[in-house]
């Protein structure tokens, strides 16, 4: 007859950690989580700012010291976090400014389409609208000089690509 032995598994007891070391480890973990979250947000902003139509670049990161891989101390992690906060805030400002200018350009285009005669010779470029490619919406006379004299105006999208 085979006898089975029962053994209870217990988790190994971790070595005792000094209170200061544990606090620093928690602080480092929290800072690394903040840095990771800020890097994800910065990547999303770079994608939005770099989309076709009106690509804008974020400021370049500072070059590393070139000393090779190493663990960052608390002060270095805080500086990295603060720098990322500045970059994210700047990127969000740029994105908000671009969205405002695109909304203004769309409003101008809608006004041009609604009443071309009131917006003679007005131009809205596709780049201003955040659209990819080259080209522009222009208010031009319908039949050349005769249309200009008779006040026949229309909005025309030019291909614009040379």
Ranges 21-25, 44-48, 80-84, most confident: 80-84
Question: Residue 31 above 80 pLDDT?
Answer: yes
The answer to whether residue 150 sits within a structural domain is yes
Per-residue pLDDT, averaged over 83-104, amounts to: 93
Overall pTM > 0.85: no
Domain count, the chain: 2
pLDDT given for residue 159 in this prediction: 79
Per-residue pLDDT, averaged over 21-45, amounts to: 90
Identify the residue whose tokens are 């208010």: 139
Same-domain check for residues 94 and 123? no
Same-domain check for residues 92 and 148? no
Same-domain check for residues 32 and 91? yes
Token couple for 2: 């085979």
Same-domain check for residues 96 and 28? yes
For the chain, give the mean pLDDT: 83
Question: Residue 23 above 90 pLDDT?
Answer: no
pLDDT given for residue 38 in this prediction: 94
The answer to whether residue 83 sits within a structural domain is yes
Q: Which range of residues forms the domain containing residue 158?
A: 115-162
pLDDT digits (tens, 9 = 90+) for 75-89: 899 999 999 999 999
Question: Residue 162 above 90 pLDDT?
Answer: no
How many angstroms separate the CA atoms of 29 and 15, rounded?
19
Same-domain check for residues 42 and 86? yes
Same-domain check for residues 43 and 81? yes
Per-residue pLDDT, averaged over 116-121, amounts to: 93
In 10 A of CB 10, how many CB atoms? Answer: 6
């Amino acid at each position: 007859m085979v006898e089975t032995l029962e053994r209870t598994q217990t988790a190994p007891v971790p070595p005792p950690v000094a209170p200061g070391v544990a606090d620093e480890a928690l602080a480092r973990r929290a800072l690394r989580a903040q840095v990771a979250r800020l890097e994800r947000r910065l990547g999303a902003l770079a994608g939005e700012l770099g989309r076709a139509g009106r690509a804008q670049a974020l400021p370049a990161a500072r070059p590393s010291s070139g000393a090779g891989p190493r663990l960052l101390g608390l002060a270095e992690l805080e500086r990295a976090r603060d720098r990322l906060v500045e970059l994210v805030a700047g990127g969000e400002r740029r994105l908000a400014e671009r969205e405002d200018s695109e909304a203004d350009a769309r409003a101008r285009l809608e006004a041009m389409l609604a009443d071309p005669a009131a917006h003679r010779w007005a131009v809205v470029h596709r780049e201003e609208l955040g659209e990819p490619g080259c080209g522009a919406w222009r208010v031009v006379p319908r039949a050349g000089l005769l249309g200009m004299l008779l006040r026949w105006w229309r909005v025309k999208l030019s291909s614009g690509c040379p």
